[in-house]
C-alpha cells in the first residue's frame, strides 16, 4: 500500500527544504522515499526528484504562451495536471521498481506543492488531484501544512495563520498536520507573549484579546472575537514544530505523520527480506523474524522512526555530557513542545555550544577511527605472507 505526504504551505514556508531534509533522514534510516515535485515554478530543486512536473509543463511556458501572470499561470498548470493525471499515474507506477523494492505498491512519496495559498484553500484542482491519488493510485496520504513560525510572534498574524490552517484542513479533507517551520529562528524575533505550548496547542485564545485590541482599530475587536470563537468552536487546529537541521525534530514530526497516515499499523513491505542484502544488512542484534508470515512481522521502516513510541531520551542523551539541557537532564522520556521551547528559546546559546562540542568530539572520533584503520591496514600489509613480510 503506497503512503505519502502532501506538503503544502505559503511560499517560503520551507516545503522544499523539508522534502530535502526528509530525504536525507530516510536515506540514513534506510527507509525508501521518493519525492514528487508538483511545483512548476521550482527552479532549483534541492532534493533528488523522482518525478518532476516540469517534464509535463513549466510555468514560464504557460505564461509565454497564454499571456498569463505568475498566479494565473500556476492555476493553469494545476488544472493541466488534473486533466493529464494519467501522466502522473504512469510515472508513479514506475516508482520502486529498482533496488529490489516491491514496486509502486510499497512506495513512500512526498508531493511538494506550489506555495500559492488558494491552491489548497479554494481552488479545486489540487483537491481533485489529491482525491485521484487516493482513489486511482491507492495512496494513504496526510497533509503536512508548513507555516513559518514567525507568525506566532504577533497576535493578529497568529489568528490569520490559524484561519489559514483551518481552511486548508477543511478543503483537503486529509489527515492533517500543521507545522510551525523554522522554529530554530524563533528566538530572533524577540520574546513571545506566551510559552510556545500556548501557540502549538492553541490554548485559550481569549488571552490574545489584549494584544489584538492594541494592534488593531477598536472597530475590529468584535470581528477578532468572532474569529477566535470560530477557531475555538472547530477545535481542530494544533501545531507540531520543525527545525529541518535538527534530527530530533525531524524524527518527532515523522512519528506524528506515520501515526496520522496509519503507516505504523501496516505490516512491513511484503518483500522486505530483499532489503536485507549485503548492501543493506539488518542491524546487528536484530531478531530475525523472516520465517514468520509477512502480516506478523513488524514494519521495521516505521519502527526505526515511529512505532517505537515517543523518542525516548533522544535529547536527554545529548544533554548527558554537558551543562545544557536542564529539563533534558532530568529522567524524562517524552520529547514535547517544552523541550522545543528550551532548545530554541530558553537555553538556545547553551544548547548551541553543547552541540558544537558534540560535533567536534564526533569529528575527532571519526578521524581517530580512520587513522587506526589505516595503521592496521599498513601493519596487515607488512605481515602479509604473500608479500613475503610475515612470519612463517
Ligand X SMILES: Nc1nc2c(ncn2[C@@H]2O[C@H](COP(=O)(O)OP(=O)(O)O)[C@@H](O)[C@H]2O)c(=O)[nH]1
Q: Could you tell me where the DSSP H helices lie in 84-195?
A: 85-94, 117-121, 124-135, 155-172
Which one of 15-23, 48-56, 234-242, 372-380 is the stretch in contact with Mg ion (CB under 5 A)? 15-23
Q: Which of residues 112-141 bind ligand X (CB under 6 A)?
A: 115
Instruction: Determine contact, residues 297/289, Cβ cutoff 8 Å.
Output: yes
| Binds ligand X by CB under 6 A, chosen from 27, 61, 124, 185 | 185
Q: Could you tell me where the DSSP H helices lie in 245-313?
A: 247-261, 300-302
- Cβ proximity to Mg ion: between 15 and 252 the closer is 15
Instruction: Determine contact, residues 220/259, Cβ cutoff 8 Å.
Output: no
Instruction: Determine contact, residues 74/114, Cβ cutoff 8 Å.
Output: yes
- Cβ proximity to ligand X: between 224 and 241 the closer is 241
- Cβ proximity to ligand X: between 16 and 171 the closer is 16
Residue 37 binds ligand X, judged by CB under 6 A: no
Query: Could you tell me the smallest distance in angstroms from the CB atom of residue 44 to Mg ion?
Result: 9
If phi over 0 gives left and psi between -120 and 50 gives alpha, with beta otherwise, what is residue 390? beta
Q: Cα(33)–Cα(16) distance, rounded to whole angstroms?
A: 15
Helix (H) or strand (E) holding 178: strand 176-181
| Binds ligand X by CB under 6 A, chosen from 31, 140, 145, 182 | 182
Binding partner selected for residue 54 from Mg ion, ligand X, none, CB under the kind-specific 5 to 8 Å limit: none
Residue 255 binds ligand X, judged by CB under 6 A: no
In sequence order, what are the residues at sequence separation of 6 or more whose Cβ sits closer than 8 angstroms to the Cβ of residue 331?
Answer: 316
Which one of 14-22, 323-331, 340-348, 378-386 is the stretch in contact with Mg ion (CB under 5 A)? 14-22
- Cβ proximity to ligand X: between 180 and 272 the closer is 180
- Give me 351's grid cell: 544548547
Name the residue among 179, 153, 195, 243 with its Cα closest to residue 346.
Answer: 195
Query: Could you tell me the smallest distance in angstroms from the CB atom of residue 10 to ligand X?
Result: 7
Query: Could you tell me the smallest distance in angstroms from the CB atom of residue 134 to ligand X?
Result: 23
Q: Cα(140)–Cα(4) distance, rounded to whole angstroms?
A: 6
Rounded (5°) CA angle 123-124-130: 120
Residue 120 binds Mg ion, judged by CB under 5 A: no
Backbone angles phi, psi at 34, to 5 degrees: -130, 140
Which one of 101-109, 171-179, 181-189, 217-225 is the stretch in contact with ligand X (CB under 6 A)? 181-189
Binding partner selected for residue 162 from Mg ion, ligand X, none, CB under the kind-specific 5 to 8 Å limit: none
Residue 16 binds Mg ion, judged by CB under 5 A: yes
Q: How many residues are present in the chain?
A: 392
Q: What is the DSSP secondary structure assignment for residue 283, as one 8-state letter?
A: P
Strand order in the sheet with 34-37: 51-52, 34-37, 108-112, 3-9, 140-148, 176-181, 239-241
Q: Cα(136)–Cα(102) distance, rounded to whole angstroms?
A: 19
Residue 306 binds Mg ion, judged by CB under 5 A: no
Q: Cα(71)–Cα(372) distance, rounded to whole angstroms?
A: 58
Residue 51 binds ligand X, judged by CB under 6 A: no
Residue 240 binds ligand X, judged by CB under 6 A: no
Residue 54, CA atoms < 13 Å, CB-side half-sphere: 16
- For residues 278 to 297, the per-residue mask of contacts with ligand X, x marking binding by CB under 6 A and - elsewhere, is --------------------
Residue 14 binds ligand X, judged by CB under 6 A: yes
| Binds ligand X by CB under 6 A, chosen from 243, 250, 253, 324 | 243
Q: Which of residues 329-348 bind ligand X (CB under 6 A)?
A: none
Residue 376 binds ligand X, judged by CB under 6 A: no
Residue 17 binds ligand X, judged by CB under 6 A: yes
| Binds ligand X by CB under 6 A, chosen from 2, 4, 5, 16 | 16
- Cβ proximity to Mg ion: between 39 and 184 the closer is 39
Residue 54 binds ligand X, judged by CB under 6 A: no
Site residues for ligand X per CB under 6 A = 9, 11-17, 115, 181-182, 184-185, 242-244
Contact positions toward Mg ion, by CB under 5 A?
15-16
Amino acid at each position: 500500500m503506497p503512503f505519502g505526504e502532501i506538503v503544502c504551505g505559503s511560499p517560503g514556508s520551507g516545503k522544499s527544504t523539508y522534502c530535502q531534509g526528509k530525504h536525507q533522514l530516510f536515506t540514513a534510516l534506510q527507509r525508501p522515499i521518493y519525492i514528487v515535485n508538483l511545483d512548476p515554478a521550482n527552479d532549483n530543486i534541492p532534493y533528488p526528484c523522482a518525478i518532476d512536473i516540469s517534464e509535463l509543463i513549466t510555468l514560464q511556458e504557460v505564461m509565454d504562451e497564454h499571456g498569463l501572470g505568475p498566479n494565473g499561470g500556476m492555476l493553469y498548470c494545476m488544472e493541466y495536471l488534473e486533466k493529464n493525471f494519467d501522466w502522473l499515474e504512469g510515472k508513479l507506477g514506475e516508482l520502486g521498481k529498482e533496488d529490489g523494492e516491491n514496486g509502486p505498491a510499497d512506495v513512500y512519496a512526498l508531493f511538494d506543492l506550489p506555495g500559492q495559498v488558494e491552491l489548497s484553500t479554494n481552488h479545486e484542482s489540487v483537491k481533485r488531484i489529491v482525491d485521484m491519488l487516493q482513489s486511482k493510485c491507492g495512496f494513504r496520504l496526510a497533509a503536512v501544512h508548513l507555516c513559518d513560525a514567525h507568525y506566532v510572534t504577533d497576535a493578529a498574524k497568529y489568528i490569520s495563520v490559524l484561519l489559514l490552517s483551518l481552511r486548508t484542513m477543511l478543503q483537503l479533507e486529509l489527515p492533517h498536520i500543521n507545522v510551525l517551520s523554522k522554529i530554530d529562528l524563533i528566538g530572533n524575533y524577540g520574546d513571545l507573549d506566551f510559552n510556545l505550548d500556548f501557540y502549538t496547542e492553541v490554548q485559550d485564545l481569549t488571552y490574545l484579546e489584549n494584544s489584538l485590541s492594541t494592534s488593531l482599530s477598536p472597530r475590529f475587536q468584535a470581528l477578532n472575537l468572532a474569529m477566535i470563537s470560530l477557531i475555538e468552536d472547530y477545535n481542530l487546529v494544533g501545531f507540531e514544530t520543525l527545525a529541518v537541521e535538527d534530527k530530533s525534530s525531524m524524527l518527532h514530526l515523522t512519528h506524528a505523520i506515520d501515526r496520522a497516515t496509519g503507516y505504523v499499523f501496516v505490516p512491513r513491505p511484503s518483500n522486505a527480506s530483499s532489503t536485507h542484502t549485503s548492501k543493506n544488512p539488518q542491524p546487528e542484534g536484530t531478531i530475525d523474524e523472516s520465517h514468520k508470515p509477512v502480516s506478523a512481522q513488524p514494519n521495521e521502516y516505521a519502527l526505526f522512526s515511529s512505532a517505537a513510541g515517543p523518542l525516548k531520551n533522544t535529547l536527554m542523551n545529548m544533554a548527558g555530557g554537558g551543562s545544557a539541557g536542564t529539563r533534558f537532564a532530568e529522567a524524562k522520556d517524552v520529547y514535547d513542545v517544552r523541550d522545543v521551547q528550551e532548545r530554541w528559546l530558553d537555553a538556545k546559546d547553551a544548547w548551541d555550544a553543547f552541540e558544537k562540542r558534540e560535533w567536534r568530539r564526533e569529528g575527532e572520533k571519526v578521524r581517530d577511527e580512520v587513522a587506526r584503520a589505516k595503521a592496521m591496514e599498513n601493519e596487515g600489509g607488512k605481515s602479509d605472507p604473500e608479500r613475503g613480510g610475515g612470519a612463517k
